[in-house]
Amino acid sequence: MTVRTAFVTGASRGIGRACALALSAAGHRVVLGARNRELLDQAASEISAAGGQAFAVEMDLGSQDSIKAAFAKAAEEAGPITILVNNAGITRDGLSMRMKRDDWDAVLNTNLSGSFFCCQQVMQPMMKERWGRIINIASVVGQIGNAGQANYVSAKAGLIGLTKALAQELAARSITVNCVAPGFVETDMTAGLSAELKEKMLGATPLKRLGKPEDIAAAVKFLASEEASYITGAVLNVNGGLFM
């Protein structure tokens, strides 16, 4: 197997951390990007302790300059990035009627624009290698909507559209671009939800359980592999049957 360098955003916890661990277990070098240096170092240490190669870089997806600096440092330390997992995201929930412009902009800038700028940073090395994998972590709410999350839903739906556009642009160089759309997953983001809302989620999910970060990481590992070389522009739903 060819050892490649993967960059995972939002890799300090939750789904991003699980993706980094899975890609390392598959034999790749992994660059972990996020804002929290302490949690990044913990995740990188876990990978190193298991015999993998991990590099931690601080980055803020809301800043294009921060993104450029992080990818430049990653390439210098770990080599050309040919696997990108756009996982980092934030929420600023609220009903549309009262949503502040700052909350709209923050979520769109981080979740959609930030992901796009990350894609821009890896296109050239992937085109040079004539091989690449871009995997965007969307959400089931980007497909079905969700009250009180107009900004987050718009960003995730936009990420699905971006995936399809880039898939067409980059296919000639053997670069695939795909989406994984998780359902409701046990992470810090869902931990604060009320018991009533969690019960409602489970009731709407045919498999009757919340997903685990490892469920999403398994899909990411597959899409990053040679076995997925004929899949591009796809949305892989990992949602327990919530949306079919």
Kindly give the pairing relationship between strand 54-58 and strand 235-238. Answer: unpaired
Q: Cα angle vertex 48, ends 46, 53, to 5°?
A: 130
**15: Cα separation from own chain's centroid:** 8
Instruction: Check residue 79 and give left, alpha or beta (phi > 0: left; psi -120 to 50: alpha).
Output: left
Catalytic status, residue 152? yes
Find the mean pLDDT for residues 230-242: 98
- pLDDT for position 194: 73
The residue extents of the domains of the chain are: 5-183+216-237
188: pLDDT strictly greater than 90: no
- pLDDT for position 190: 74
The percent helix, strand, coil of the chain (3-state, each to 5) is 50, 20, 30
Contacts by residues 66-75 (CB-CB < 8 Å, ≥ 24 positions apart): 67/114, 67/117, 67/118, 67/121, 68/117, 68/121, 70/33, 71/7, 71/118, 71/121, 71/122, 74/5, 74/7, 74/31, 74/33, 75/125
- pLDDT band at 197, cuts 50/70/90? confident
Find the mean pLDDT for residues 204-212: 95
Locate 7 and state its tokens: 């960059």
CA atoms within 13 A on the CB side of 197: 8
DSSP assignment of 80-101: -EEEEEE-------B-GGG--H
Which of 154, 148, 141 is CA-nearest to residue 105?
Answer: 154
13: pLDDT strictly greater than 80: yes
- pLDDT for position 187: 83
Query: pLDDT per residue over 42-96, tens digit each?
Result: 999 999 999 999 999 999 999 999 999 999 999 999 999 999 999 999 999 999 9
**11: Cα separation from own chain's centroid:** 9
Locate 144 and state its tokens: 């079905």
Rounded to whole angstroms, the Cα distance separating 46 from 33 reads 15
Task: Determine how many CB atoms are found less than 10 A away from the CB of residue 6.
Answer: 28
CATH class of the domain at 5-183+216-237 = alpha beta
Query: pLDDT per residue over 101-138, tens digit each?
Result: 999 999 999 999 999 999 999 999 999 999 999 999 99
239 Cβ contact list (under 8 Å, min separation 6): 140, 181, 182, 183, 184, 205, 211
Q: 28, 152, 177, 220: which one is catalytic?
A: 152
pTM: 0.96
Least confident window among 30-34, 145-149, 156-160, 221-225? 145-149
Query: pLDDT per residue over 137-146, tens digit each?
Result: 999 999 999 9
117 Cβ contact list (under 8 Å, min separation 6): 61, 64, 67, 68
Rounded to whole angstroms, the Cα distance separating 140 from 119 reads 22
